[in-house]
Amino acid sequence: MSRNLVVPRDASPETLAAEMLAVPMLAAKRALPDSPTGGYTPGAVDCPSTRPTVRVASSLSANETAWLEVRRNATIAPMTEFLTRMNISGFDAASYIKKVSGNASTLPNIGLAVSGGGYRALMNGAGFIAAADDRTQNSTNTGQIGGLLQSATYLAGLSGGGWLVGSIYTNNFSTVESLRDGKHVWNFGNSIFEGPNDDGIQILSTADYYSTIRNEVNGKSDAHLNFNTSITDYWGRALSFQLVNATDGGPAYTFSSIALQDNFLNGEVPMPFLVADSRAPNTEIISLNSTVFEFNPFELGSWDPTTYAFAPLRYIGSNFTNGAIPDGQQCVRGFDQVGYVMGTSSTLFNQFLIQANSSGLPDFLVSTFTSLLDDVGFTNNDIAQYQPNPFYGFNNGTNRNANAIQLDLVDGGEDLQNIPLYPLIQPIREVDVIFAVDSSADTTYHWPNGTALVATYERSLNATIENGTAFPAIPDVNTFVNLGLNHRPTFFGCDAANLTGPAPLVVYIPNAPYITQSNVSTYDPSYNDTQRNLIIRNGYDVATMGNGTVDSQWPTCVGCAILSRSFNKTGTTVPDACTACFQKYCWNGTTDTRDVTYEPNYILAEVSAASAGIALDVQKIFTFGVATFAAALVMLV
């Protein structure tokens, strides 16, 4: 596939303190709340003259195709500047990008993916995004990778990584610095179970906080538009208070309204994706055969043959039947409230139910949660309910949900694909390289061990579900640990000739302890500012390999990874510097399957949490916060 690109737009040391990003900034407010009711409740509206319809997933949407023409062009200047700074010896990056920029198939097409893992994933992922963002202080200095974000076409998030992506975009593509330093977002010292604060003073009592959320969710259930509500509605509203810089967490803000923002329309930012899994009615276990769904600003849908359809996200909640809204019926807008979409990708209550008896929590807390989730779980209320089901009566031959009045979606990592690679490996998107940030808690001590990559690889081998996707070979999880592949960046799929089909090179970037123990539990609900900043800083070090102190050639190797597929397509001789990088970072097929316990040492010198004044009585914080939330939910639902 070839696409002509027009003239590019003008191109627009080491961190030493616990405050990794030093200059306070302010998070920008979103200008486009899109719910017609002005609140959380979706509302009926007259349909546009061209009535919304569901489409078969045989191509990109017309909207994405048109947007790509703008975005791919907009990446040329920052990519040229970025690759020039990566300093690939003996290689003229500017001349090369100029040569290939006339054809979208040879211009490097970059995707970024941030894994799930609760607040751990948000904070570690934030460090990576800060490092990749050329707006971050010092991110374009020697040893840095600032500009990677501006060069990327796509940015995907899942669960906690989805909170990060959603928060960035619903706050007008704010920087990590501004979100970290803002007064009204990312204040994790007051847990989601207690409610927001402002300058250390809680602005709503916990009772008022829950009352506000309850009233908003009740408004949706009482709308007489055939909606069901669930714990995900409460969960998503609570998340929004922490993640969206607007009154009461922006109840009228929608995910689809990202597509109406000038910076998105002008191709100045990557396209965001969030990922969720479909769960069959009256079941709790998600398998690799489960249908995977993506949210993007234009659509909700799946490339899997078990759905193979996309619906216009702005009008989710309308009564789609056989792919169309019946004549005489109005459309519905506002169902894709941004907190609800983020909550859909992170329905962690499912995992609470599955893991409660083995989690080591106090007996009274296990009993409270089990009782709560038993009450609602087996009627499917612990999942995100998309009713009316937009795919009702569509693709009846293969669509698992064709006869269901509601579409049930859950946390996108429940099938073990905890890195949101799914949207980025679809062949039609032609992504060349994916930077896969893994904050999973696979090991005993909550570090990643490659499980997410293994799951995506295994799924790509399943002929009934893979739908043409190819993925690089991935070793077993013991090999990840024994060879240190989960302790440093590793490239997979370096030799395109060895793949079963077109597939991106995957740059695996696992969470590791550079300066702090960033392996906090997925279910820890509260972090003071110092601990939050330490984990973000640690993620920055993960992304930059300690600002180049672990490997001064790491930025060069990042550039080589970006260019690898383009070199292959154009028959360009690989520079010697890149050959050295591939020898260093590409997995060479070696395996070591011995069982091992992974307890990593610090890669750089530890910055002591205790000396930074952090109170880390995690069990006490967790028990109090979750018990408060569980008790409140019992009253609410």
- Pairing between strand 331-333 and 490-492? unpaired
- Tokens representing 336 are 């894709």
Q: What is the pLDDT of residues 81-101, one digit of tens each?
A: 999 999 999 999 999 999 999
Instruction: Quote the CA–CA distance of 149 and 137 in Å, as a whole number.
Output: 14
pLDDT tens column, 514-557 = 999 999 988 787 899 999 999 999 999 999 999 999 999 999 99
The answer as to whether 304 is a domain residue is yes
Classify burial at 23, counting beta carbons within 10 Å of its beta carbon; exposed 0-12, middle 13-18, buried 19 or more. Answer: exposed
Global pTM value: 0.89
42 preceded by cis ω (within 30°)? no
CA distances from 74 to 265, 435, 569 (A): 11, 20, 22
* pLDDT tens per residue across span 416-448: 999 999 999 999 999 999 999 999 999 999 999
- Give the per-residue pLDDT at 522: 86
At 210 the pLDDT is 79
For residue 354, being part of any structural domain is answered with: yes
In a domain, 17, yes or no: no
Instruction: Say if 6 falls within a structural domain.
Output: no
- Number of structural domains (the chain) is 1
| Selection from 511, 526, 54 nearest residue 320 by Cα | 54
DSSP bridge pairs for 44: 332
Task: Look up residue 326 and give its amino acid.
Answer: P
Give the SS3 label for residue 111: strand
Token reading at 432: 């060349």
User: Dihedrals φ, ψ of 492, to 5°?
Assistant: -125, 135
Residue 596 covered by a domain: yes
Q: List Cβ neighbours of 59 (8 Å cut-off, separation of 6 or more).
A: 65, 428
- Residue 254 corresponds to which tokens in the numbers above? 């929608």
Say which CATH number the domain at 580 has.
3.40.1090.10
Q: Which of 622, 417, 518 is nearest to 123 (CA)?
A: 518
Placement of tokens 């009008």 in the chain: 315
pLDDT at 368 over 50: no
In a domain, 36, yes or no: no
Q: Which tokens go with 553?
A: 């050639």
Within a domain: residue 135?
Answer: yes
Q: In the predicted model, what is the mean pLDDT of residues 160-187?
A: 95
Q: Tell whether 27 is covered by a domain.
A: no
Its domain, for residue 376, covers 43-182+253-611
Q: Which letter, b or e, does each residue of 424-434 get, where b requires 16 or more Cβ atoms within 10 Å of its Cβ?
A: bbbeebbbbbb
For residue 587, the one-letter residue type is W
pLDDT at 290 over 80: yes
Residue 182, pLDDT > 60, answer yes
